[in-house]
Amino acid sequence: MKPYAQLTPAERKEEYARLQTEFDAWKAKGLSLNMARGKPGKQQLDLVSDIFGLMQAPRDYVSDGIDVRNYGEMCGLPAARRLFADILGCKPEQVFVGGNSSLQLMYDTIAKAYTHGLLHSPRPWCKEETVKWLCPAPGYDRHFKVTETFGFQLVTIPMTDGGPDMDAVEEAVKDPAVKGIWCVPKYSNPEGAIYSQETIRRLAALTPAAPDFLIMWDNAYCVHEFEGDYVPFPDILSICAEAGHPDMVFEFASTSKITLPGAGVACFACSEANMAHMEKLLTPQVISFDKVNQQRHVLYLRDKAHTLELMRKHAAIMGPKFRGVVDTLDREIAPLGIASWRRPKGGYFVSFNAMPGTARRTLALCKEAGVTMTSAGATFPYGKDPQDSNIRIAPSLPPVEELEQAMTVFCVCVKLAALEKLGV
């Protein structure tokens, strides 16, 4: 097939009619397939379910002399703090191990800035006339929603191959109303981009007008390669400290996609000064998080090296799914010149850029044929993609056979929407 732009009107009509027949045949099958959210598949959950068998012996109830079944250790079990410090490359004293969700810790950090203020806040953010927030996009919809619910003005920052467009960030932070930025530095959601050394250096070196500017460093996919070797990443806490801004960053991570989403363990890491401030604010809120689950994870994951071994087993399940998705796109869509995408090596998503003005139509067609995808626009602030182009594909949940069907349907819909846009 020639690129669609080179087809004559008659050829376009013919191709459209052929695809319409194919689409109707898929629709008649009454499919119910889901590529909407980045959830691990059943095989991955089964892989880690031996975690339930741990903590049988009474000796497992004690960690560093602490009875994990009781109150105490609000900042997390020392062994759990050491585990995350090993994974993230920072110091255990800089790690706070919480409950089952890093998103909750992120929300809570912003909430605390809003109600009480951060370490260097002249006043709580609720007392500010306007709070603006930088959102590299395409990005993670829930990040954008967190800052939207607090009434912040979301400022879109374009993403490049090496992370957020740093010229735009450096310009934006001259405004004292700009209080922070969302970052997913490794296998960003949904682009799968890894921030370049240069981007990281420039972020750490920012001199924002706001004294309490906050980098929300969500390292959700820090050990999540599904192709190739583990890619090391730098410790953002020490890089910010070396740049003279030790308190400008909070890092987040969790075991949601290492062990069990919703039943894993999450953490934040920050400077010791920030930790002292957060401890003060958290003390009235919680006596201690679930240390039993923390202990289970310490026993199960042990250390970074052992965690990386487990991640290679996840990769053996995830790799074929991602290769299937991208190979289908390469075969079905690439020759037509109507879309672009990346071939990520880790994370949970493939970011697909359809012909501008066709993402919503493509996804409406998918829905009609029984394939659910993340809604169009979700990867942009306020759910509005100005180009109506970006679509997030999440291949992890469906089994391979279902994924193949879902991708075939998706490609038919992408083509139909493009032909409609070109005129049929």
Ligand X SMILES: Cc1ncc(COP(=O)(O)O)c(C=O)c1O
Please report, as ranges, the residues that interact with ligand X according to CB under 6 A.
38, 101-103, 140, 184, 189, 218, 220, 254, 256, 261, 266
Q: Cβ of residue 262: shortest distance to ligand X, in angstroms?
A: 7
Q: How far is the CB of 143 from ligand X (least distance, A)?
A: 7
| Nearest distance, CB of residue 347 and ligand X, angstroms | 8
**Is the separation of the CB atoms in 289 and 268 below 8 Å?**
no
Q: Give the residue with the Cβ less far from ligand X, 220 or 363.
A: 220
Helix (H, G, I), strand (E, B) or coil at 373: strand
Tokens of 367: 């829905």
Q: Whose Cβ is closer to ligand X: residue 37's or residue 91's?
A: 37
Q: For ligand X, give the closer residue by CB, 345 or 361.
A: 345
Q: State in angstroms the smallest separation of the CB of 57 from ligand X.
A: 29
- Of 256 and 351, the one with the shorter C-beta distance to ligand X is 256
Nearest distance in Å: CB 266, ligand X: 5
Residue 366 CB partners (closer than 8 Å, separation 6+): 372, 373, 409, 410, 413
* 397 phi/psi in degrees, rounded to 5: -75, -50
Tell me whether residue 97 or residue 103 sits nearer to ligand X (CB atom).
103
Shortest reach from residue 334's CB to ligand X, in Å: 27
| Type of residue numbered 20 | Q
Rg (CA), the chain: 23
Q: Which is nearer to ligand X, 155 or 265 (CB)?
A: 265
Residue in 217, 216, 269, 214 with CA at minimum distance from that of residue 245:
214
Of 117 and 381, which has the nearer Cβ to ligand X? 381
Angle at alpha carbon of residue 380, lines to 41 and 157, rounded to 5°: 120
CB of 135 to ligand X, least distance (A): 13
